[in-house]
Amino acid sequence: MHKTLSPEEYPVESKTLSKKQRLIQASLFGEAFAQKKNFVGRFMVLWLRTGQDAAMRLGVVTSKKVSNRAVDRNLARRRIREIFRQHRAELSGPFDLVIIGRRNLLFATHEEVEAEFLKLVEKAGLRIQ
C-alpha cells in the first residue's frame, strides 16, 4: 500500500509565489501609480512602490486592452509571475513591483518577455548581479 503524503511531507519545496510575495490590495496599486516611478517596455510597464512595508512583492495588471478574453489575460499574468518568480532571488531593494501587461505580451516568446523584464529591472536598479 502507498502512503499518501501531506503537503508538509513533500520532498520538493513549493515554487509558487506565496500570498506574502504578492501585492493584492487596490490601495497599494494606487500608491505605486501615485509615486510615478515607472519604466516602459514593449511588453510591459514596470512601476515601483516604496514604503515602510515594501518587500519585493509583485502585483500584475492586465486590462481588457490586452485581450477581451479572460483566458488570455490570465495567461499574460501567469507568464509575468513565472518570470518574476524565477528571478526574484536576483532582485533587491525596498520596493514592491507592479507590472502592467501590454497587448504585445501575448504574441511574444518567453525569452523575449524575460529579456525585457530583466532590462526593466536593470534600469530600475533592482538587480544585484
Query: Looking at the domain assignment, is residue 54 inside a domain?
Result: yes
Name the domain count of the chain.
1
Query: Looking at the domain assignment, is residue 78 inside a domain?
Result: yes
pTM tops 0.75: yes
Q: CATH number for the domain including 30?
A: 3.30.230.10
Query: Looking at the domain assignment, is residue 12 inside a domain?
Result: no
The domain containing residue 75 runs over which residues? 18-124
The pLDDT tens digits for 92-128 are: 888 889 999 999 999 999 999 999 999 999 998 887 7
CA angle 100, 106, 107 (to 5 degrees): 130
Query: Looking at the domain assignment, is residue 9 inside a domain?
Result: no
The CA-atom distances, in angstroms, between 15 and each of 55, 82, 104 are 18, 10, 27
Confidence at residue 3, expressed as pLDDT on a 0 to 100 scale: 61
* Ranges of the chain with pLDDT below 70: 1-15, 129
Query: Looking at the domain assignment, is residue 71 inside a domain?
Result: yes
Q: Is the separation of the CB atoms in 56 and 96 below 8 Å?
A: yes
Task: Look up residue 28 and give its amino acid.
Answer: L
Q: Which three cell numbers stand for residue 31?
A: 500608491
